[in-house]
Amino acid sequence: MNKPVRQLDRVVIRFAGDSGDGMQLTGDRFTSDSAVAGHDLATLPNFPAEIRAPAGTLPGVSSFQLHFADHDVLTPGDAPDVLVAMNPAALKANLRDIPRGATIIVDTDEFSRRNLGKVGYAVSPLDDGSLESYHVHPLALTSLTVDSLASFELSRKDKERAKNMFALGLLSWLYTRPLESTEEFLRRKFATKPDILAANIAALHAGAHYGETTEDFAHTYAIAPATMREGTYRNITGNTALAYGLVVAARRAGLPLVLGSYPITPATDILHTLSGLKRFGVTTIQAEDEIAGVGMALGASFGGALGVTSTSGPGLALKAETIGLAVSLELPLVVVDVQRGGPSTGLPTKTEQADLLQAMFGRNGESPVAVIAPQSPVDCFDAAIEATRIATAYRTPVVLLSDGYLANGSEPWRLPEIADLPDLTVTFQTEPNAVDDLGAPVFHPYTRDPQTLARPWAVPGTAGLEHRIGGIEKADVTGVIAYDPDNHERMTHLRRDKVAGITASIPALEVDDPDGNARVLVLGWGSTYGPIHAAARSVRRHGMAVARAHLRHLNPFPSNLGEVLRSYERVIVPEMNLGQLALLLRAQFLVDVQSHTAVRGLPFTAGELADVVTAAIHALPEPAAEHAR
């Protein structure tokens, strides 16, 4: 009774429903199953800031998009092939993203007159012919679920709540997925609620059986595993990867990890994750406010720990003064900013890249800090290690700019060998480093390493190195209070040169220009990596040449950046802000980059960027003979 199987190379599915329908969980599970099936994948959770917006309304719609394929996946997909809509609101909120010809599965039980009315449908779109150009599967998911659980001693409400597992079972059948790992997950999740566990497993199987028996679906689909590098993999979100990166970095540095943090979307999962890692010696302090969070981190750094604070844009604004103190104290400090839409409260659950200039300049005085950004959820792990490396080696605050898309998005991660990760061993000062007028040994806290310009890290408890530091300008070398004009000039330059000098320890910017004949370069930073890379592939598939590069280090830039920018006739800089990197590039290199921006709370689509690149290529003048590259 097995139905015929059709082979596909890629699928984009979006699960959409009410905030309370369990769509994030359903998406997460389907993602894990896809990962275990060997597909490459990328995900895009999208949910409202309200915990439970009024049921059945447009503001309450939560969705989870998953792109999985038999090849290297770079984005969560521009447009879903399949939409699962658990109610009319979910259909209405998502329909404009669904291309004609796509498959739509709806729960008809929720298409009541009342629910239709809540979102302004006078007539059900299932009946008025407006969905004719889609493959619509109207299924009574809720009643099918409840019927399948007839033998369970549960309330109707509890039975209805399992409808997301019914839907997951159906989709798992449709895409030829085993159910075991979801069963195992449910057993962990509902370990203490055996009746709920049994109902969820029953609903999961009922969904799969329904697919097999109903005539609604004529065939199933299979996607071959992607060709991936040899190794052991797991699926991971950016926030989890970032938290793990901090733990590993602290271990590689030989330092205890201390996180001071105040809950804020979308960074809070970092606090949650690290709070659960006490077994790894991690200390977390949930602070009374954002300022205290960074103060605690800085206090811990003063004591010789790796002090970290995690936040989002509004929190970074509050931490500014303390970060300035860390600039003056020249102590290591890692500040994680998981960016969200701004200004002010803005779009707490949506993504944006508009804190770059705040990270660069959002403090009083000349107060340079290092700024880096991860490019994908998995890369959050490596970025955390790099932030720790710079912070400890240069005794400087480092702002790590993740964003909401990276934080909640996930992708397969090839697990690293711990021993292969960078050695970040820190050496504390243990001996005096100078002599006073009488020849007695003394400690001068603002002497500098000739290579890095870092000052010694001498922690309390070290005899003979007692010293005082503070936010008042300090005399070069001795660190005592100094208001002398020449000294301030010197110290200001030293602090700038120290951060600028980090360039010597970072790799040159690599340009992906396969044939070396591109005239247009797309330069990005942070989470735009996936869409830019996918756009470049698409443009190349159409026979055009385009170069691509991505910045991890925003301050300082890689040493060859100016040269790279000047090597192309046109440089396009896509950003989810109004052109902040573009501003920096123009200011520093006098190159008139083309800024392409969007602030819709969502990542770029590859298609949109491919169009921008294609238009730029077409707009190029005919190459003069002597200019041909």
Partner 1 sequence: MKLDNPGLGHSGFGHPGHTLGMPSTGTSRVPLLAPDAPAQTRKDFTSDQEVRWCPGCGDYAILATMQGFLPELGLRRENIVFISGIGCSSRFPYYLDTYGMHSIHGRAPSIATGLATSRPDLSVWVITGDGDALSIGGNHLIHALRRNINITILLFNNEIYGLTKGQYSPTSEQGKVTKSSPLGSVDTPFNPVSLALGAEATFVARTMDSDRAHLSGVLRAAAEHRGAALVEIYQNCPIFNDGAFDVLKDRAESQRRIFHLRAGEPISAGGQVVIRDTDNELRIVAEGEADPQRIVIHDPSAADPSTAFALSRLSESTLSHVPMGVFRSVSRPAYDDLVRGQVEMAVAQAGGPATDADLAALLGGHDTWTVGA
Q: Considering only 337-345, 346-354, 411-419, 525-533, which stretch makes contact with partner 1 by CB under 8 A? A: 411-419
> In terms of C-beta density within 10 A (0-12 exposed, 13-18 middle, 19 or more buried), how is residue 4 classed?
exposed
Q: Which CB atom, from 38 or from 263, has the smaller least distance to partner 1?
A: 38
- 161-195 burial string, b = 16+ CB within 10 Å, else e? bbbbbbbbbbbbbbbebebeebeebbeeebeeeee
One-letter amino acid of 294: V
Q: Which CB atom, from 285 or from 509, has the smaller least distance to partner 1?
A: 285
Q: Considering only 52-60, 321-329, 354-362, 371-379, which stretch makes contact with partner 1 by CB under 8 A? A: 321-329
Binding flag, residue 152, partner 1 (CB under 8 A): no
Binding flag, residue 298, partner 1 (CB under 8 A): yes
H/E run at residue 222: strand 220-223
H/E run at residue 411: strand 410-414
Size of the site for partner 1 (CB under 8 A): 76
Q: Residue 512 corresponds to which tokens in the numbers above?
A: 């992906």
Q: Find the binding residues for partner 1 in span 323-362 (CB under 8 A).
A: 324-325, 329
Binding flag, residue 468, partner 1 (CB under 8 A): yes
CB of 140 to partner 1, least distance (A): 32
- Cβ-based neighbour number of residue 548 at 10 Å: 25
Among 127, 147, 289, 366, binds partner 1 (CB under 8 A): 289
Q: Residue 621 corresponds to which tokens in the numbers above?
A: 């003048």
If phi over 0 gives left and psi between -120 and 50 gives alpha, with beta otherwise, what is residue 169?
alpha
Q: Considering only 72-80, 415-423, 512-520, 570-578, which stretch makes contact with partner 1 by CB under 8 A? A: 415-423
Q: Considering only 32-40, 88-96, 556-564, 607-615, which stretch makes contact with partner 1 by CB under 8 A? A: 32-40
Alpha carbon 371 to its chain's center: 16
Binding flag, residue 420, partner 1 (CB under 8 A): no
Name the β-bridge partners of 69: 10, 40
Among 419, 587, 624, 628, binds partner 1 (CB under 8 A): 419
Among 122, 463, 625, 628, binds partner 1 (CB under 8 A): 463
Q: Residue 373 corresponds to which tokens in the numbers above?
A: 């950004």
H/E run at residue 332: none
CB of 258 to partner 1, least distance (A): 5
> In terms of C-beta density within 10 A (0-12 exposed, 13-18 middle, 19 or more buried), how is residue 462 classed?
middle
Could you tell me the sign of the dihedral formed by the alpha carbons of 572, 267, 90, 187, in that order?
A: positive
Binding flag, residue 438, partner 1 (CB under 8 A): no
Distance CA 51, CA 66 (A): 22
Binding flag, residue 439, partner 1 (CB under 8 A): no
> In terms of C-beta density within 10 A (0-12 exposed, 13-18 middle, 19 or more buried), how is residue 464 classed?
exposed
If phi over 0 gives left and psi between -120 and 50 gives alpha, with beta otherwise, what is residue 304?
left
Q: Find the binding residues for partner 1 in span 218-277 (CB under 8 A).
A: 225, 228-236, 244, 247-248, 251, 256, 258, 260, 277
- Give, as one character, the DSSP assignment of residue 37: T
Binding flag, residue 35, partner 1 (CB under 8 A): yes
Q: Considering only 47-55, 135-143, 153-161, 318-326, which stretch makes contact with partner 1 by CB under 8 A? A: 318-326
Q: Considering only 33-41, 57-65, 544-552, 586-594, which stretch makes contact with partner 1 by CB under 8 A? A: 33-41
Binding flag, residue 123, partner 1 (CB under 8 A): no
Q: Residue 31 corresponds to which tokens in the numbers above?
A: 């993602």
Q: Considering only 52-60, 280-288, 504-512, 601-609, which stretch makes contact with partner 1 by CB under 8 A? A: 280-288
Q: Find the binding residues for partner 1 in span 37-56 (CB under 8 A).
A: 38
Q: Which CB atom, from 444 or from 548, has the smaller least distance to partner 1?
A: 444
Q: Find the binding residues for partner 1 in span 485-504 (CB under 8 A).
A: none
Distance CA 13, CA 250 (A): 38
Q: Considering only 126-134, 294-302, 507-515, 561-569, which stretch makes contact with partner 1 by CB under 8 A? A: 294-302
The answer for residues whose C-beta is within 8 angstroms of residue 329's C-beta and 6 or more apart is 298, 302, 469, 470, 471
Q: Residue 362: phi, psi to the nearest 5?
A: -80, 50
Binding flag, residue 475, partner 1 (CB under 8 A): no
Q: Considering only 14-22, 97-105, 184-192, 197-205, which stretch makes contact with partner 1 by CB under 8 A? A: 184-192
CB of 425 to partner 1, least distance (A): 15
- Cβ-based neighbour number of residue 208 at 10 Å: 20
Q: Which CB atom, from 8 or from 482, has the smaller least distance to partner 1?
A: 482
Q: Which CB atom, from 59 or from 231, has the smaller least distance to partner 1?
A: 231
Q: Which CB atom, from 157 or from 188, has the smaller least distance to partner 1?
A: 188
Binding flag, residue 369, partner 1 (CB under 8 A): no
Which among 283, 244, 286, 242 is positioned nearest to 266, based on CA atoms? 242
Q: Which CB atom, from 100 or from 188, has the smaller least distance to partner 1?
A: 188
Distance CA 192, CA 184 (A): 14
Binding flag, residue 187, partner 1 (CB under 8 A): no
Binding flag, residue 312, partner 1 (CB under 8 A): no
